[in-house]
Chains A and B, each alone.
Chain A
Amino acid sequence: MIFINVNGKDYQVDVPSDTPLLWVIRDRLKLMGTKYGCGIGECGTCTIHIDGKAQRSCTVEVGKVQGTKITTIEGLSENHPVKRAWIEEQVVQCGYCQPGVIMEVASLMAENPKADAEAIIRSMDDVICRCGTYPRIKKGIAKAVDIARKEVRK
């Protein structure tokens, strides 16, 4: 039996400990916002937070994350600056990659609250979007940084 904490909730799941965390999140916990894209950690669609840090859930074994705090796109507040920025800038097209992209950006912003948009954008080459939303992802990042700064000032 494996014990994991996802989005603040404790779960126990009966799966082999080498099962990729991605499939536990999707098929056992039915949290479908985290997507499969490549299975080898190349595309970023499955990005989640483990103890606040962006990780590729397709290459993390579920047995190795017991005792951590896991956050998925569903666990990131709907009021989060990145989610709000994504709506304001109308970033999404098909939207399949965006939960992973959003989790990546949210993690980069949390790790370094002083980072400007340009620095975050430079760290985003490990996510893939086939619709080509990159120009708007860049605008979205700039907007999210702006929203987050205004919130700090409040």
Chain B
Amino acid sequence: MKTSFSRREFLKGSLAASGLTIIATLTPEGVKLAKASEAKGEASTLKPTAYYEITPQGTVKVVVPSSEMGQGIHTTLAMIVADELEADWGKIQVIQAPAADPFKNVLLDSQLTVASAATRGWYVPLRKAGAAGRAMLIEAAAQEWKVPASECTAEKGAVRHAKSGRSLNYGELAPKAARLQVPQDPQLKKESEFKYIGKLMPRVDGPEKVNGKAIFGYDVDLPDIHYAILARPPAYGAKPDSFDEKAAIAVDGVVKVVPTPRGIAVCAKNFPAALKGRKALNVKWSAGSHPDMDSASIEKALVSGLEQPGANAITRGDPKKALAQAAKVLEATYYVPCVAHATMEPMNFTAHVQQDRCDIWGPTQGQTVAQMVAGQVAGLSPDKVQVHTTLLGCGLGRRAAPDFVVDAVIASKALGKPVKVVWTREEDIQHDLFRSAVAHKIKAGLDDQGRLIAWDHKVSCFSILKHMGRPIENGIDMYVLWGLHDAPQSPAKSRIAYGIPNFSVELVLSDLPVPVTPWRSVQNAPNAFATECFMDELAHLAGKDPLAFRLESLKDNPRARRVLETVAKSSDWGKPLPQGRGRGIAQHMCFGSYVAQVADVSVKDGKVTVNRVDVAVDCGPVVNPDALEAQIQGAVVLALSTTLKEEVKFAKGGVASANFGDYSVIRMSEVPEIRVHIVNSTDEMGGIGEPGVPPLAPAVTNAVFAATGKRLRRIPLAL
């Protein structure tokens, strides 16, 4: 059972228990390791924060800074600490961290679980923290026995002295170790010494999730908790013309009606009363800013955006000249509509604003931002806001945004009580911040040997930065270009893998009011759909095998080559298939990891059935192989859902799709066999939560071409 706690409460408890607590203190030189006692009296300035605590009973409480949304990060980060610490896995307890500066992911400079960055960001800091504790425990035992530390070894939660056969467990040693200096640069283990890292480990949250004991945001329960459900505008820019507050208050259980920037919150003593109250409120809305906007007009606007001049994101070589001189030239347009996150746990958040403090509970991917916005709304400084992160009923990027946090704080402030704002499924889909719809136009040229020499790419979509309220400089929003181009030092590490000598990308951002935000892999997936389908078309034009054609342009990219070659081998690439069946291949690099996939599909009577998907992954060193396999399986399933089924429908200036009845998602019988092949790699560590998504849609679409000879340039696929 995981609990969250305030920093002060934790430290108080730790000091009283006199165990060993390794903390991080933020100094002007960066994060330093320390022990809890050193933080005494410095708490307000140095913001000490615990990475783990060993109690006198021997329990190792690992404090995990990242949000658990299914990716297994509670397990993975605990594995890292436990391994370096030489802890007994059976004594590990995971605690969700509060919001605090030392819990910011170094790759993101924020306490934020996005960009497949948790493991790669925390790997080294947590190894160091674990190793420091191990060294202190060994030293404590050596002093106790009056023997050299070099004669002592730590193993499975105890220190042993082989010569004398003596042994002390970590619980016994912790109070003594807590009096020693914390080494800043402890000796890390060799890879061959790992006990947990790289091994198949059971999830720490498995039993509580299987038994219905896991606490998600929707399950937060507090004394006198109230529920708020918002009446929200049915169209973008719509304002309430009228509403019947009296009728809402008259509903048994409804206590107050509170306007927020996103709608009108009906606060009640329970969920059904809030729902009835919202109905009774009977809001009449104005028509909104774009009453004629619908799915067709959005698609038309984005596709026609391709004819407008765009902002140049990158030009390498001289694509225009190279295209003019090319032996063969091909141009194609692709379109991917908006898709919704539709996490199984709908959006929700709980807040309790009091005079001098604000507590917020719920499923957030972004503690730093949640703490900041809650403080702003409550009229308190961020350090007066305690963030209690629950488990997340899936995240997919949606829960990094703070919109659902803000409404809870507004409602609690108005009511003077703890309030849980709960979204219905209809709100969750209709007021989602979507994966941006995108239109692509690509023009590419081949030389007389059929080699790819020029690539001129225009992207037309909505802006993620705009909906985050951040400035767009020179017309470029790098978020929406990931997978094609990326800033040099970006932690997203999402660039086109091919070495194309003449290459350019231009961007046209639409002004339509469709709100967008990152969605598992951000725009890598819809961008890879265009690039990898187009690579297939170019291979066909060149008269070459799609695998061989790709490898030609990956001479300087051994990691991309290796995953392609691995997946080709495992999928029997090139072996004949019966009529109506085909294989398609695709690769993509993002978040520092390389993934290639081969889809084997059958097409019959216009219906696409995916029989099997082979996946090869190179993410560098693997910390948690079971979680890796699960993440790839899940990514393939989700991506297949967008390839075959998902599309948000717009009408009358708002969202027409409302629930799983009209927002179709993939079901179990449509899920193919998925074979995951992990490439042994000692290269730089990449992320794993998202990179499995992008290659799937083009691999399936290319397989449909192989099976039918039909080029489809839009998903969800319609034959």
* A and B bind: yes
Q: State the A residues within 8 Å of B (CB).
A: 15-16, 19-20, 23, 26-27, 30-40, 42-43, 45, 72-74, 78, 83, 86-87, 90, 92-99, 102, 121-122, 124-138
Q: Considering only CB atoms, which chain A residue lies closest to B341 in the complex? A: A130
Contact indicator A94/B660 (Cβ below 8 Å)? no
Q: Which of B414-436 contact A (CB under 8 A)?
A: 422, 424-425
**9 cross-chain pairs, A with B, having the tightest CB-CB distances, nearest first:** A33-B212, A132-B637, A96-B393, A95-B209, A94-B70, A93-B70, A73-B212, A132-B634, A32-B219
CB of A23 within 8 A of CB of B270, answer yes
Q: Which of B272, B342, B393, B636 contacts A23 (CB 8 A)?
A: B272
Interface size class of chain B, counting residues whose CB lies under 8 Å from the partner chain = 35 or more
- Pairwise interchain contact B212-A99, C-beta atoms closer than 8 A: yes
| Distance, CA A78 to CA B668, complexed state (A) | 25
Is A74 within 8 A of B212, CB to CB?
yes
Known A27-B271, A36-B218: A42·B660 in contact at CB below 8 Å: yes
- By the criterion CB–CB under 8 Å, are B394 and A94 in contact? yes
For the A-B complex with A42-B660, A90-B630, A132-B636 known, give 13 more contacts whose Cβ atoms are closer than 8 Å. A20-B272, A32-B221, A35-B344, A35-B393, A37-B345, A38-B425, A74-B212, A83-B211, A92-B205, A94-B70, A94-B393, A128-B344, A135-B637
Q: Is residue B659 contacting chain A, with contact meaning CB distance below 8 A?
A: yes
CB–CB A131/B70 < 8 A? yes
Q: Report B-chain residues with C-beta under 8 Å of the C-beta of A37.
A: 344-346, 425
Instruction: Identify whether the interface residues of B are mostly helix, strand, loop, or mixed.
Output: loop
Which residues on A sit within 8 Å (CB–CB) of B422? 36
CB-nearest residue of chain A relative to B227?
A: A27
Whether A32 pairs with B70 at a CB distance below 8 angstroms is: no
> Would B205 and A27 count as touching, CB distance under 8 A?
no
B68: nearest chain-A partner, CB-CB = A94
- List residues of chain B with CB within 8 A of the CB of A38: 425, 659-660
Q: Is B389 an interface residue (CB 8 A)?
A: no
Give chain A nearest CB distance to B435 CB in angstroms. Answer: 13
Contact between B218 and A95, CB atoms less than 8 A apart: no
Known: A32-B221, A132-B636, A135-B633. A87 touches B669 (CB 8 A): no
**Looking at A99, A127, A135, which has the most chain B CB atoms within 10 Å of its CB?**
A135
Partner of B207, one of A72, A87, A121, A128: A87
For window 194-222 of B, CB contacts with A under 8 Å fall at: 202-203, 205-207, 209-216, 218-219, 221
C-alpha gap A122/B635 in the complex (Å): 22
Task: Tell me which residues across on chain B come within 8 A of A134, comparing CB atoms.
Answer: 637, 668, 671
Contact B212 A27 (CB under 8 A): no
- With a CB–CB cut-off of 8 A, which chain B residues contact A34? 212
Chain B: which residue is nearest A92 at the CB level? B209
Q: State the CA gap A98–B206 with chains docked (Å).
A: 11
A130 touches B635 (CB 8 A): no
In contact, A130 and B391 (Cβ under 8 angstroms): no
What separation, in Å, do the CA atoms of A97 and B396 have in the docked complex?
A: 15
Of A31, A95, A133, A136, most B-chain CB atoms within 10 Å: A95
Q: Are B210 and A129 in contact (CB under 8 A)?
A: no
Find out whether the CB atom of A94 lies under 8 angstroms from the CB atom of B344: yes
- B214 neighbours in A (Cβ, 8 Å): 95
Docked complex: B636-669 residues within 8 A CB-CB of A: 636-638, 641, 659-661, 665, 667-669
Pairwise interchain contact B630-A96, C-beta atoms closer than 8 A: no
Interfacial chain A residues near B665, Cβ < 8 Å: 128, 130
Given contacts A93-B71, A131-B394, A137-B668, contact A83 B210 (CB under 8 A): yes
What are 14 residue pairs bridging A and B, where the CB atoms are less than 8 Å apart in the complex?
A32-B215, A34-B212, A36-B422, A40-B661, A72-B212, A74-B213, A83-B211, A87-B202, A92-B203, A94-B69, A95-B70, A95-B210, A102-B210, A135-B633
Taken together as a complex, chains A and B put the C-alpha atoms of A39 and B424 apart, in Å, by 8
Contacts of A95 in B (CB 8 A): 70, 205, 209-210, 214, 391, 393
User: Closest approach, in angstroms, between the C-beta of A87 and any C-beta of chain B?
Assistant: 5
Interface contact B221-A132, CB-CB below 8 Å: no
Query: Does B343 interact with chain A (Cβ within 8 Å)?
Result: yes
Residue pair B210, A96 in contact (C-beta under 8 Å): no
Contacts of A138 in B (CB 8 A): 668, 671
How far is it, in angstroms, between the C-alpha of A126 and the C-alpha of B72 when the chains are bound? 26
**Contact: B425 with A39, CB < 8 Å?**
yes
Shortest CB-to-CB span from B228 to chain A, Å, is: 14
Please name all residues of chain A whose beta carbon is closer than 8 Å to the beta carbon of B667 when the two chains form the complex. 125-126, 128
CB distance from B227 to the nearest CB of A (A): 8
Instruction: Tell me if B172 is interfacial: C-beta within 8 Å of chain A.
Output: no
Residues 392 to 407 of chain B near chain A (Cβ within 8 Å): 392-396
Q: Which residues of A contact B341 (CB under 8 A)?
A: 130
User: Does B377 touch A at the CB level, under 8 Å?
Assistant: no
B659 and A42 contacting across the interface, CB-CB below 8 Å = yes
With A23-B270, A130-B342 known to touch, is A33 a contact of B213 (CB < 8 Å)? yes
Q: Which of A96, A122, A128, A131 contacts B634 (CB 8 A)?
A: A131
Q: Which chain A positions have C-beta within 8 A of B205? A: 92, 95
Q: Which chain A residues lie closer than 8 Å to B669 at the CB level?
A: 121-122, 124-125
Q: Flag if A94 contacts B391 (CB, 8 Å).
A: yes
| Cβ-neighbour of B345 out of A15, A16, A96, A121 (below 8 A) | A96
Q: Are B392 and A94 in contact (CB under 8 A)?
A: yes
A123 to B425, CA, bound (A): 24
B218 partner residues in chain A, CB cutoff 8 A: 35-36
Per the bound structure, the CA–CA distance linking A5 and B604 in Å amounts to 50
Q: Which residues of B contact A136 (CB under 8 A)?
A: 630, 633
**B219 touching A19 by the CB < 8 A rule?**
no
B424 and A132 form a contact (CB under 8 A)? no
**B215 to A133, Cβ gap below 8 A?**
no
In the complex, which residue of chain B has the Cβ closest to the Cβ of A27? B270
Chain B residues whose C-beta falls within 8 Å of the C-beta of A137 in the assembled complex: 668
The yes or no answer to B674 lying at the interface (CB within 8 A) is yes
**A130 contacts B425, C-beta separation under 8 Å:** no
Closest partner residue, chain A, to B634 (CB atom): A132
Contacts of A20 in B (CB 8 A): 272
Nearest chain A CB to B673 CB, angstrom units:
8
Chain B nearest CB from A139 CB (Å) reads: 10
The answer to whether A78 touches B211 (Cβ under 8 A) is yes
B626 at the interface (CB under 8 A from A): yes
Residue in A16, A31, A96, A125 whose beta carbon sits within 8 Å of that of B668 in the complex = A125
In B667-707, the 8 Å CB interface with A consists of: 667-669, 671, 673-674
Assuming the contacts A74-B212, A136-B633, asked whether A19 and B425 have C-beta atoms less than 8 A apart, the reply is no
Q: Which partner residue on chain A sits nearest B203 by CB separation?
A: A90
Q: How far is the CB of B8 from chain A (nearest CB, A)?
A: 28
A34-B219 Cα distance, complex, nearest whole Å: 10
Q: Mark B604-639, 1 if CB is under 8 A from A, else 0.
A: 000000000000000000000010001001111110
Closest beta carbon of chain A to B280's beta carbon, Å = 14
Q: Is A40 a contact of B212 with CB atoms below 8 Å?
A: no
Which chain B positions have C-beta within 8 A of A27?
A: 270-271
Contact yes or no, A32 B212, CB < 8 A? yes
- Smallest CB–CB gap between A58 and chain B, Å? 10
Contact among B202, B219, B668, B674 with A90 in the assembled complex (CB-CB below 8 Å): B202
Cα-based distance from A93 to B343 in the complex (angstroms): 12
Contact indicator B668/A121 (Cβ below 8 Å)? yes
Question: How close is B251's CB to chain A, nearest CB, in angstroms?
Answer: 11
Q: Complex: how many Å from CA A44 to CA B354?
A: 38
Contact of B210 among A86, A122, A128, A135 (CB under 8 A): A86
Q: Which residue on B lies nearest to A88, using beta carbons? A: B202
**A132–B674 alpha-carbon span in the complex (Å):** 11
Kindly supply a per-residue 1/0 record for chain B positions 265-290, scoring 1 wherever the CB is within 8 Å of any chain A CB and 0 otherwise: 00000111000000000000000000
